[in-house]
Amino acid sequence: MLASQRRARILEEIRRSGAVRVSALVERLGVSDMTVRRDLEVLAQQGQLQKVHGGAVLPGGRSTEEPGFAAKSSRENAEKLAIAEAAVRLVEPGMAVGVSAGTTTWTFARLLRDLPDLTVVTNSVQVADVFSRRPRTDQTVVLTGGIRTPSEALVGPFAVAAIRSVNLDIMFMGVHGMDVHNGYTTPNLMEAETDRAFVEASRRFVVLADHTKYGVLGISTIADVDAADVLITDSGLADEHQQALRERVGDLVVVDAAAEDDASSESETGA
């Protein structure tokens, strides 16, 4: 593959997902780590991407930049569904369940609404809307108040006060970024405070994050990596990062998005 073709592939990938990891590009392009880093350097000099530790992001991406819900909802859909299907298996009838804002947690909520006898506490307008579209008499949904963010989260002192008044059996949280050094991060300072309140209110803390979140850094840390009892991600995450997380997280669950996607297709076709 010519250098121009490699760089076009790199740009295609970063425009699709918003961020790329050097390790992932090495595997996909079949070239050396040094070759990928040279390509990223050339593209950065051209202003077509911004280099960050371990990879690159779209130009202009900063630790305080917060993509809107619609922008994120079209990314990694197969991975999000596979993660959500693994997450819903952790929920039992009678539980009080916390669900934070995010597109992965929104996907999870669409599966969660089929379970009986739940109390769901969320600061997500989109998650609450999932339950309101198909209400059940055996489910109670509590939407916190607060200030609305671009990701459709309700944050700030009203949200924090509401969350601190409840005790949750299990909390499912989506994050903007994660790595073993900076933990789980968000680009919104008030959202970080609200998310920390969720963690403190929960007996069990579960993070839902696809592989593209690794190495992405938001301005504020919600919690250290080892604070999660369970982290559910997908097999697109490089082996070395899986190992680093496995050494820190209580339980690392790695799902195969392709396998889940195939199973869904077979179910839909009656195979």
List the one residue out of 232, 236, 269 whose CA is nearest residue 111.
Answer: 232
Residue 78 has a pLDDT of: 87
What are the residue ranges of helices labelled H in the chain?
3-17, 22-29, 33-45, 69-72, 77-88, 103-112, 125-133, 157-164, 189-200, 239-246, 257-269
d(CA 10, CA 260): 26
Classify strands 19-21 and 139-143 as parallel, antiparallel or unpaired.
Answer: unpaired
Most confident of 70-79, 117-126, 252-261, 262-271: 117-126
Mean pLDDT score, 6-19: 80
Residue 72 has a pLDDT of: 52
Mean pLDDT score, 108-121: 97
The domains of the chain are located at 3-57, 70-255
d(CA 158, CA 143): 11
| More confident position, 1 or 253 | 253
d(CA 266, CA 271): 5
d(CA 207, CA 193): 16
220: which residues sit within 8 A by CB, 6+ positions away?
185, 186, 187, 188, 189, 191, 192
Residue 263 has a pLDDT of: 43
| Predicted model pTM | 0.73
Most confident of 12-16, 55-59, 211-215, 258-262: 211-215
Mean pLDDT score, 113-128: 96
In the CATH hierarchy, which top-level class contains the domain 3-57?
Answer: mainly alpha
CB-based contact 178:151 (threshold 8 Å): no
d(CA 211, CA 262): 19
Tell me the two tokens of residue 84: 């959500």
Q: State pLDDT tens for residues 194-203.
A: 999 999 999 9
Say whether domain 70-255 belongs to CATH 3.40.50.1360: yes
Classify strands 139-143 and 252-255 as parallel, antiparallel or unpaired.
Answer: unpaired
List the one residue out of 196, 261, 208 whose CA is nearest residue 89.
Answer: 208
Residue 56 has a pLDDT of: 81
Residue 74 has a pLDDT of: 46
d(CA 213, CA 20): 9
Mean pLDDT score, 176-200: 93
| Least confidently predicted of 66-70, 107-111, 148-152 | 66-70
Integer-rounded Cα Rg, in Å, for the chain is 19
pLDDT score of 75 more than 80 = no
d(CA 34, CA 22): 9
Percent of the chain with pLDDT over 90: 60
Q: State pLDDT tens for residues 33-67.
A: 999 999 998 988 887 777 776 788 766 555 555 55
